Amino acid sequence: MDAGSQPNRNAAATPLPPISRETLWYLDNYILLRDYYDRTISRIAARCVRKGNIALEEYPHYSYILDVLEEISETGNYIIQHKELYPYVERKIRGGMEALRKNLNEYEVELQKNSSPDMIKEDASDLAKMKEALGSIDVKDDPTLGAGMNMDDLMNKLMSQNHVNTSEYETYDDQPAPDLEKPEGN
Per-residue confidence band for 160, with pLDDT thresholds at 50, 70 and 90: confident
Q: Which amino acid is at 105?
A: N
Per residue in 43-72, pLDDT tens?
999 999 999 999 888 899 888 899 999 999
Query: Rg of the chain's alpha carbons, rounded to an integer?
Result: 31
Per residue in 127-145, pLDDT tens?
666 666 666 656 566 555 6
Per-residue confidence band for 29, with pLDDT thresholds at 50, 70 and 90: very high
**pLDDT reported for residue 153:** 72
Q: Which of 105, 85, 106, 112 is nearest to 96 (CA)?
A: 85
pTM for the full predicted model: 0.55
**pLDDT reported for residue 172:** 55
Determine the Cα–Cα distance for residues 97 and 32; give it in Å rounded to an integer.
17
